[in-house]
Amino acid sequence: MVPVRKLVKIADLSRDWWNAMYSRCCDIIARPEIYSNSCSGKILASMFYEPSTRTNFSFQAAAQRLGAGVFGFSDPVGTSASKGETLADTIRMTAAYSSTIVIRSPQEGSATASALYSEVPVINAGDGGHSHPTQTLTDLTTIAQKRGDIGNIRIGLCGDLKHGRTVHSLVEAMEMFPNISFYLISPQELKFPDYVLERMKKQGQTFEETEILADVIPELDVLYMTRIQRERFRDAGEYRRLKDVYVLTKKMLESAKTDMQIMHPLPRVDEISTDVDTDPRAVYFEQARYGMLIRMALLLDFMHLPRIAPAAVYDDPNAAPGECTNPACITQSDTYLPKLVSRSGSDRCGYCDKKTTTMLL
């Protein structure tokens, strides 16, 4: 298998690579002591432009458990970004000091942009409402550990599906596994973006959209709850109206399967009642630990790869005329970036996957 040098979108993840990482993760779980110095002398650069607890801590813990060092920031205010330094220059500088870069940013497509300018592997730790591939590794690991298999299951995705980068990535990853049925549970205002639904249809994925959790909970093997994300709303009033639309309680679980897994990427706010925490079906805190373990497996892949000077960057010749108008896209602030095409089509931005405008020629 040709070494992979980035994980910025789920499209970077192949079934073979997943199988290899998961096998290594299982060995880490079984024999953690033999990995304690496997990345000695390596350094992880942790660049968090947006608040994080689990993802930030789990990457740091993963690196340290492998014997690697860590440097970075959890607030860009104290960095040269506050002085106007471009992302490309920050990445070039950070890559000079590190073995692997992990980046989280509120700007969609920031990790894709970072990989264009880095001599070392780049990992996307979440880019706005777009993608979160290492959370997906966490989710796949949790399902595999708890069920023994990932295929042949019914999954309910509940809550903020519009801004929920974790569920965007999870749905795409599930294309690798057989016989997956989705129940997409959200109000109309928070349903999946069109590009996600279009991809699901194109891939022949089975899904049903509904607004009522109670109607489908008896059918589910996995219930994946998500937070209504206040930070993604431009209208505070709309957030207040929608924030408590789904609250999972112990009472609601009476109609659920006895072996259903309740997952959540965390942090939790009000969408899962604390009385659910003691239910054996609640696996979201175990899920957080699996996140550290699978990230150890990922870092073992990346930390030992050689430094490679990035290729010169140019506009994709397949790009349609026009510009990305997504206000959250990295191209809105870093206008020097080349035009890239999404695998979803030439009329979609290669950074954020949103449709581009068409310019009249």
Query: pLDDT tens across 69-125, in order?
Result: 999 998 877 676 767 889 999 999 999 999 999 999 999 999 999 999 999 999 999
pLDDT above 80 (res 360): no
- Tell me if domain 6-132+290-302 and domain 133-285 are identical in fold: yes
Q: With beta carbons less than 8 A apart as the criterion, state whether 131 and 104 touch.
A: no
Average pLDDT of the chain to the nearest whole number: 90
Q: What percent of the chain has pLDDT over 90?
A: 71
Instruction: State mean pLDDT over 330-334.
Output: 94
Q: With beta carbons less than 8 A apart as the criterion, state whether 127 and 105 touch.
A: yes
Structure-token pair, residue 43: 């350094």
∠ CA 359-360-361, nearest 5°, is 110
Concatenated DSSP letters for 209-231? EES-HHHHGGG-SEEEE----GG
Domain ranges of the chain: 6-132+290-302, 133-285, 316-361
Look at strands 345-349 and 341-342 and give their pairing: antiparallel
> Which of the residues are catalytic?
54-55, 83, 104, 132
Structure-token pair, residue 275: 């009385």
CATH number of this structure's domain 6-132+290-302, picked from the four choices 3.90.320.10, 3.40.720.10, 3.40.50.1370, 3.20.20.110:
3.40.50.1370
Q: What are the strands, taking DSSP E only, across the chain?
A: 6-7, 43-48, 69-73, 100-105, 122-127, 153-158, 180-185, 206-210, 222-225, 261-263, 341-342, 345-349
pLDDT above 80 (res 253): yes
Strand partners, 103: 47, 124
Confidence band for 359, pLDDT divided at 50, 70 and 90: very low
- The C-alpha R_g of the chain, in whole angstroms, comes to 20
Tens digit of each residue's pLDDT (9 = 90 or more) over 151-188: 999 999 999 898 888 898 899 999 999 999 999 999 88
Q: Which residue has the higher pLDDT, 198 or 2?
A: 198
133-285: CATH topology is Rossmann fold (3.40.50)
- Mention every residue, 6+ apart, whose C-beta is less than 8 A from residue 19: none
| pLDDT recorded at residue 361 | 35
pLDDT above 60 (res 13): yes
Q: With beta carbons less than 8 A apart as the criterion, state whether 264 and 272 touch.
A: yes
